[in-house]
Amino acid sequence: MDGITPLEYYTRHFPYKELARVLTRNGDALCQREFALEGDFYKRYVVAKDWEDLRRQVIAHPGITSLHVGPVYSGRVARSADHARSWPARRELVFDIDLFPDYEWLTLNRADGSADMEACDRAWPVCAIGAFLLQYVLETAFGFKEIMCVYSGRRGVHLWVCDNAAMDLADDARSAIVGYVRASLTEDKMRATTGLRRFVETNEMLPAAQWAFDELLVREMGLLDPLEQRLSLVDRLNLSHVEALQGLHEDVIDMESGVAAWERIKTKVKDTGQEWMQDKLNEVVLAYVWPRIDENVSLHRNHLLKACFVAHPKTGRVASPVRQEDLFRFNPASVLTTRNWTGGATPACEPQALPHYIEQKSQRTKTKRARPVEGKARRFSRRERTVHRKPSPLAPQAEAMDIEDMGHVLAT
């Protein structure tokens, strides 16, 4: 019979040894790492001397449904009352991109309020775009090289920055990084702020954002196929007072497809010849594609997050690592799930490969990829040169990322 219980999964299939390898790869002792167990009750401050001890405690927890990973302590794992003697000293810098409720323009719930997993799966490109852009900023602005992207198992994605420098960050430094990458939107959330647009332009990321919106959201996801979404996009522009754009609402309704409606909007704005109007359109695009993160996950070292390969309690789907080059090909519906377990494993979920899902850019061969003669990358990567930007003061040795790398990944 298909399907297994959470206890069976955590007893026979969860990759404890591989997880321990990741959590100790920078020399941290596993026994100084805090874990939490979720089941009939939530238990924090769990300590394991090795992966076998962790497995023993997980499967002994009543009604086990999930395993959470917390910080590395300065000494023994201690409750908050004992922090004078031992405190959360190190933790991966983690970012959580959750489609609901942060992306207000997405409809992901059924009438009864439950998550519509088919709708969440169709919206995966939003997660992929956000993860890609966020990883790009983390690499170029802060010099981080060891980043693991993990599908959450439901409607989001987690980025684990595993560099030693990231693990050592104090809470105020984490807060500064969050402020640096924050989705700065207008008060009504209709557009990105001018400051965010200029930040994206300065870092030469605007072509990537435009390409992602055009190809992934409009064409692949069908974002503008519903009439209400077309009208919403026009409303976001807030340019009805401009004579040349009057009647744009009626125009987009008359278009036979969302793609045609989007082309009509771009043409009308371009034909005005006004740069400030194009800027406003770009700010609308950024409001759709710029990553929106759950900041509380990133700000503090004592925060806990579900471990890689946890079977999500509400969906049964395994939280699966995704390589950067597979972000836009990944299909959330293809991951292993305890609810229709067949005993097999997809390439995206091979537990023995877990440590290798951490990007190690410093070990990559720095060879420049040839630009495709045709294809999506040409529309996205309009200038053949390396991106050089002012590095963050938090990482004065940050390396530049070749913009061809972004074009290659997006076009693959």
Mean pLDDT confidence for 287-299: 94
- By C-alpha distance, which of 138, 192, 193, 191 is closest to 166? 138
Mean pLDDT confidence for 175-192: 92
- Phi/psi for 147 (5° steps) reads -125, 135
Mean pLDDT confidence for 275-292: 95
The residues that bridge with 36 in the sheet, in sequence order, are 68
Contacts of 272 (CB under 8 A, 6+ apart): 242, 244, 245
Whether pLDDT at 198 is above 70: yes
Contacts of 328 (CB under 8 A, 6+ apart): 125, 128, 132, 216, 409, 410, 412
* C-alpha dihedral (333, 335, 336, 338), degrees to nearest 10: -40
Whether pLDDT at 125 is above 80: yes
Mean pLDDT confidence for 381-404: 38
What whole-number percentage of the chain has pLDDT above 70? 82
Tens of pLDDT, residue by residue over 212-253, are 999 999 999 999 999 999 999 999 998 888 888 888 999 999
Q: Are 196 and 290 in contact (CB under 8 A)?
A: yes
Of 14-18, 99-103, 391-395, 402-406, where does the model show the most confidence?
14-18
Average pLDDT, the chain: 84
Q: Which long-range contacts (CB under 8 A, 24 or more apart) does 234-241 make?
A: 234/265, 235/190, 236/190, 236/191, 236/284, 236/287, 237/265, 237/269, 237/280, 237/281, 237/284, 238/190, 238/191, 238/280, 239/269, 239/277, 239/280
Tens of pLDDT, residue by residue over 160-182, are 999 999 999 999 999 999 999 99
Residue identified by tokens 């990084």 is 177
- By C-alpha distance, which of 353, 345, 348, 356 is closest to 13? 345
Whether pLDDT at 394 is above 50: no
CA–CA dist 335, 350 (Å, integer): 10
pLDDT value of residue 241 = 86
Within the chain, which residue ranges are assigned CATH 3.90.920.10? Answer: 6-96+148-180+294-358
pLDDT value of residue 111 = 83
pLDDT value of residue 368 = 35
Q: What fold, for 6-96+148-180+294-358?
A: DNA primase, PRIM domain (3.90.920)
Exposed (0-12), middle (13-18) or buried (19+): which is 238, by Cβ within 10 Å? middle
pTM of the model: 0.83
pLDDT value of residue 355 = 66
Mean pLDDT confidence for 387-391: 42
pLDDT value of residue 403 = 35
CA 257 remoteness from chain centre: 29
Give the tokens for residue 374.
């045709």
Tens of pLDDT, residue by residue over 354-368, are 666 666 654 443 333
Tens of pLDDT, residue by residue over 72-101, are 999 999 887 666 688 999 999 999 999 988
The residues that bridge with 88 in the sheet, in sequence order, are 73
CA–CA dist 121, 159 (Å, integer): 18
Helix/strand/coil (H, E, C) string of 20-64? HHHHCCCCCCHHHEEEEEECCCEEEEECCCCHHHHHHHHHHCCCC
Confidence of residue 9 (pLDDT cuts 50, 70, 90): very high
Confidence of residue 399 (pLDDT cuts 50, 70, 90): very low
Tens of pLDDT, residue by residue over 15-59, are 999 999 999 999 999 999 999 999 999 999 999 999 999 999 999
Whether pLDDT at 141 is above 80: yes
pLDDT value of residue 352 = 55
CA–CA dist 75, 305 (Å, integer): 21
- By C-alpha distance, which of 367, 290, 358, 350 is closest to 323? 358
- By C-alpha distance, which of 374, 399, 377, 395 is closest to 386? 399
